[in-house]
Structure 1
Amino acid sequence: MLQALKLSLLSALLLAACTQSPAPTTADAPRVHPGMGLRAASVDRSRLISWDGARTFDFNGAVDASTITVNENEVLQEIDGFGAALTDSSAWLIQNKLSAAQRNAVMQALFGFNDGNASISYLRLPLGGPDFALSHYTFDDSCCDLNGFSIDHDRAYIIPLARQAKSIDGSLNFMATPWSAPAWMKTSGQLGTGKLNPASYPAYATYLRRAYDDYRAAGVTFDAMTIQNEPQFEPGSYPGMKYEWYDELNFVRDHLAPRMSGTGVKLLTFDHNWGMAWYPRAVLNEGGALYAGSAWHCYGGNVSAMTDVHNAYPNEGIYLTECSGTHGNGTFAGNLTWNMQHLFIGGVRNWAKTVLLWNLALDPSGNPHTGGCSTCRGVITINPSSGQVTYNEAFYAIARFVWPGARRIGSSNSRDGRFISAAFRNTNGRKAVVVLNQSAGTGTFRVVAGGPWR
């Protein structure tokens, strides 16, 4: 039997409907259904991740142009998690510009499970300093061996916050991403330009394995590692390193993959923009067995590029690993809508196993940063003078009840174009539907599913 839940939704409202107990046996009988509820964020901020534990739904099986149909028999990709990057800048702000009480409250808001929390389930960790760091550094800036290797820089505040986050959410996953090899390993002798010198391939593979080992010994284990952040870009003003696809493949095949054997770390290629799908295609075509998939950024091209690569290499995972909001640009409504359209609904509908935003925290001017983006905005904003914390649109876009290990299941968008959706089945069997009203004004839609939901 088809069962339709009829719901009203304010313009650009993010809604997750979680049904937990069997549907009523009497059709066409509106009632309060125990265990069924909504969690929502509205564009006018009147509701921000608020939960209603019991709501009245109309079960009548009707289908119209605003209907979203859920097919739980269509089982799609596994979800690894949603979150952001704990950059050097983000960790420094949280650790040093908040009191202990403020910091604990912020960490609970980001990683906790209570009403109003984002419930972040995945963190990206730069290996060495990106543009969002207090300084440009790697784990061995001496020359010219690995005798000076140390992750002590990260022990000051990055690793303690990563451990605290893991203590709040035991299912939290971590992804590691290098921005550059040490300058002495590169063709340019500079952090901001150049390629990895082939003579340094063995040393750099050892460097990355030591980063994994030392982080793990410190209580933070990587679930995945991308080979290089934005491998087709030499930033100049901050650490970066260029790979041609065949250079990356040679490094991974002959050096990194053997060094990482036995760790269980998923190696991911690419980590760059939607508009350059030729790069992961070339790598996966020649060396797909070495990789768990490809990583993607939102700064160019179309999100559908991920589906194109999935269709060509269906056994390789798709990971959306970076997208940043900008301060002083757009409105709360517009930014929340964009995030849902392109990332948290659009991304997973295009096979993403993760959706990760850029900086977890920045100050009101988008600092600290040393080169690169001057307008980027964090998931949260911390005023370093007062300690005031602002929870930005991205915070509410991340928030959901879809946990690591969930499987996306089939769901349609409405025929009238007003509502788009993504649906999931969590490991405990409970299901969630995330719906965005992308039209102006309040609208009513139906969610139709076959059989009882639990």
Structure 2
Amino acid sequence: MPTHRRRLPILFTLIFVFTRFENALSADCTEKSFKTGTVCVCAIDYCDEIPALDVTMGQAALYTSSHSGARLHRDVVYATDSEPFGTLHLTIDSSKTYQTIQGFGSTFSDASGANLKSLPDKLADTILRQYFSDSGLNLQFGRVPIASNDFSTRVYSYNEIVDDFEMQNFNLTKEDLQWKIPYIQAAQKHNPNVKLFAAPWSAPGWLKSTKQMDGPGTLLGKAGDTYHKAYAKYFVRFLEEYSKNNLSFWGLSTQNQPTLGADKKNKVQSMAFTAETQRDFIKLDLGPALKASDVGKDLKVLIMDDNRGNLPKWADTVLKDKDAAGFVSGIAVHSYQDSEADKHLDETNKNHPDFFILGTEASEGSNSKDTAVEYGSWDRAEDYTSDILDDLNNWVVGWTERNLVLDAQGGPSWISDFADAPIISFPALAQFYKQPMFYAIAHFSHFIKPGAKRIDHSLNVIELEVESSAFLNPDGSKVIIMLNKGSLVATEHTVVVQDTADNRNHYQFKLPQRSIITLYIQTSNF
């Protein structure tokens, strides 16, 4: 893994440069305070927007969100050709590039669709605009569960007819027709380039060893047999039915969290694969079935779709088989149980540099010990920011939230597996709350464009409370994201950014205690 922190001498040349001290809520946020923090309230007639960049060459737009209440507060920082004072010096080098960023996303879960449908149409569309338009989060990915999962109101599959190996009775359900497809189509009106990728939580029960979707179990038989061929057809039929609704898919995961299906205590929809059985299913059944179909021949197949601690062994097992690897494009990872994520991701990229790594699921509040929905939680915004930085600094090309919108309980969920979400809906009030997590995602997704390259960056000191990353957009603009955490000692920093591509320009700004900043540097006039 390339290092992004190294020691450099601190220079103390003092020079005037535009800076800003943030200490108030962004004026555009209609704030509501709780004991746990502050949310921004949106209604039919109003919702705060991200301030426009509006900078020219030699200027940078600084966006700040903080524990004290700022939400993407914008200021302009002017370049100076002399190095000013700073307690932290960050150097970026765009001549050293790493992975290409594909984008950020969220999930069109049944729960998200149910909540959108419970709101007035105009307000539901506001949520989709906030997420998918280029004036909002500019999300590029949409994850679509194949049939039901824990964020459904019931357990269902697309074919309950036992031994229908040809999938002649395959049908989409009311959930697809009312909660998924309409809102995917509406999101595409805000961003026609949204890339959809699908993932199953379980095969129909009659194809499983336990004869039921919920709970643990494996696919019956072995790779290459009737059961595995039937399940491969199940995938193809899903793609065909969505195609009839003018929805095509960019990617497909073979199984959500396959290790969960081996947990005998697990009660949600799941199905176990080992790396070996997943490899063989792809090689003998799913891969050939997709390649033989019009809807699947160009699909990007993702393996694993599970916690990062399973790497690199899982990827090694699948991708060292050339026949299986020929059907695979990427490795899907979740953001749980990740204390050594950098090690696992770095080794995986080193072993398999031709396969991208995509973050496909992250959430807060789903641990049974946590409060599911915590209004205004800045801790969770910090967790998201730190998680995304950890991923991006270690070869991951994108990151995906678990749900677009949930209700005040953190659902609906048929099994009461409630969680937090960036947006919480209140249909009785015709309102929704934007959590700090929403703004944490925005600090990345709004500014880092698809096709951006992560670039080399370094801090002059090892500051355990500060995390950072830097990117070069296709248009030449540069993006720096920094997180100043408060887990140990809350400290404000004066940051000086120097670009090795233009040693004349330095940018000085404040990094408040417990804050997230994005510095967007414009390198040309358009």
459, 478, 488: which one aligns with 1:431: 478
Tell me the residue number matched to 1:265: 299
With over 3 angstroms needed to count, the CA separation of the structure-2 counterparts of 1:333 and 1:157, relative to structure 1, is: closer
2:77 corresponds to 1:55: yes
With over 3 angstroms needed to count, the CA separation of the structure-2 counterparts of 1:17 and 1:301, relative to structure 1, is: farther
Deviation of 1:20 after TM superposition, in Å, equals 6.6
CA contact (8 A) 1:94 1:361 kept: yes
Give the alignment's TM-score, normalised by structure 2: 0.76
379, 389, 405: which one aligns with 2:451: 405
258, 268, 279: which one aligns with 1:231: 258
Instruction: Count residues in correspondence.
Output: 431
Deviations 1:378-412 (A, max 9, x none): 22111243332011122111113112222222222
Letter in 1 for 2:300: K
Tell me the residue number matched to 2:61: 37
Deviation of 1:242 after TM superposition, in Å, equals 0.4
Map 1:243-322 onto structure 2 (within 5 A): 243-261=273-291, 263-277=297-311, 278-286=313-321, 287-302=324-339, 303-304=341-342, 305-322=344-361
Map 1:83-102 onto structure 2 (within 5 A): 83-95=105-117, 97-102=118-123
Letter in 2 for 1:386: L
With over 3 angstroms needed to count, the CA separation of the structure-2 counterparts of 1:219 and 1:447, relative to structure 1, is: farther
Tell me the residue number matched to 1:28: none
With over 3 angstroms needed to count, the CA separation of the structure-2 counterparts of 1:181 and 1:218, relative to structure 1, is: same
With over 3 angstroms needed to count, the CA separation of the structure-2 counterparts of 1:77 and 1:162, relative to structure 1, is: same
Tell me the residue number matched to 1:113: 134
Deviation of 1:448 after TM superposition, in Å, equals 1.2
Deviations 1:126-147 (A, max 9, x none): 1111100011111212222112
CA contact (8 A) 1:16 1:435 kept: no
Tell me the residue number matched to 2:29: none
2:270 corresponds to 1:240: yes
With over 3 angstroms needed to count, the CA separation of the structure-2 counterparts of 1:386 and 1:213, relative to structure 1, is: same
Deviation of 1:82 after TM superposition, in Å, equals 0.9
CA contact (8 A) 1:227 1:270 kept: yes
Letter in 2 for 1:250: D
Matched residue SS, 1:135? coil
2:427 corresponds to 1:381: no
2:496 corresponds to 1:446: yes
With over 3 angstroms needed to count, the CA separation of the structure-2 counterparts of 1:141 and 1:9, relative to structure 1, is: farther
With over 3 angstroms needed to count, the CA separation of the structure-2 counterparts of 1:63 and 1:126, relative to structure 1, is: farther
Question: 2: distance between equivalents of 1:183 and 1:413?
Answer: 53
Deviation of 1:281 after TM superposition, in Å, equals 2.9
Deviation of 1:370 after TM superposition, in Å, equals 1.4
Matched residue SS, 1:385? helix
CA contact (8 A) 1:43 1:336 kept: no
Matched residue SS, 1:108? helix
The CA RMSD over aligned residues, in Å, is 2.7
With over 3 angstroms needed to count, the CA separation of the structure-2 counterparts of 1:202 and 1:74, relative to structure 1, is: same
Segment of structure 1 superposing worse, 131-140 or 287-296: 287-296
CA contact (8 A) 1:6 1:444 kept: no
Deviation of 1:292 after TM superposition, in Å, equals 1.4
Letter in 2 for 1:109: Q
Question: 2: distance between equivalents of 1:22 and 1:73?
Answer: 19
Letter in 2 for 1:405: G
Question: 2: distance between equivalents of 1:313 and 1:137?
Answer: 36
Letter in 2 for 1:40: T
Tell me the residue number matched to 2:9: none
Question: 2: distance between equivalents of 1:61 and 1:16?
Answer: 28
Question: 2: distance between equivalents of 1:16 and 1:321?
Answer: 28
Question: 2: distance between equivalents of 1:217 and 1:406?
Answer: 33
Deviation of 1:9 after TM superposition, in Å, equals 7.4
With over 3 angstroms needed to count, the CA separation of the structure-2 counterparts of 1:173 and 1:413, relative to structure 1, is: farther
Deviation of 1:16 after TM superposition, in Å, equals 12
Segment of structure 1 superposing worse, 154-163 or 61-70: 61-70
CA contact (8 A) 2:381 2:437 kept: yes
Question: 2: distance between equivalents of 1:424 and 1:331?
Answer: 29
Tell me the residue number matched to 2:156: 137
Question: 2: distance between equivalents of 1:290 and 1:104?
Answer: 37
Deviations 1:21-40 (A, max 9, x none): 544xxxxxxxxx3xx31233
2:438 corresponds to 1:415: no
Matched residue SS, 2:171? coil
Letter in 2 for 1:130: N
Map 1:18-37 onto structure 2 (within 5 A): 21-23=56-58, 33=59, 36-37=60-61
Matched residue SS, 1:206? helix
With over 3 angstroms needed to count, the CA separation of the structure-2 counterparts of 1:338 and 1:8, relative to structure 1, is: farther
Unaligned ranges ≥5, structure 2:
1-14, 26-49, 366-371, 503-522
Percent identity between the two aligned chains: 24
Segment of structure 1 superposing worse, 221-230 or 324-333: 324-333
Segment of structure 1 superposing worse, 242-251 or 292-301: 292-301
399, 403, 406: which one aligns with 1:359: 403
Unaligned ranges ≥5, structure 1:
24-32
Question: 1: distance between equivalents of 2:452 and 2:252?
Answer: 21
Question: 2: distance between equivalents of 1:184 and 1:158?
Answer: 25
2:207 corresponds to 1:162: no
Question: 2: distance between equivalents of 1:122 and 1:43?
Answer: 28
Give the alignment's TM-score, normalised by structure 1: 0.87
With over 3 angstroms needed to count, the CA separation of the structure-2 counterparts of 1:173 and 1:294, relative to structure 1, is: same
CA contact (8 A) 1:185 1:196 kept: yes
2:211 corresponds to 1:189: yes
Letter in 1 for 2:282: V
Letter in 2 for 1:257: G
Deviation of 1:41 after TM superposition, in Å, equals 1.8
Deviations 1:309-361 (A, max 9, x none): 11222222111111111135596322211211122x11111111111121111
Question: 1: distance between equivalents of 2:21 and 2:320?
Answer: 44
Letter in 2 for 1:404: P
Deviations 1:192-225 (A, max 9, x none): 2311123311111111112122223312222111
Matched residue SS, 2:304? strand
Question: 1: distance between equivalents of 2:384 and 2:255?
Answer: 25
CA contact (8 A) 2:143 2:196 kept: yes
Tell me the residue number matched to 2:363: 324
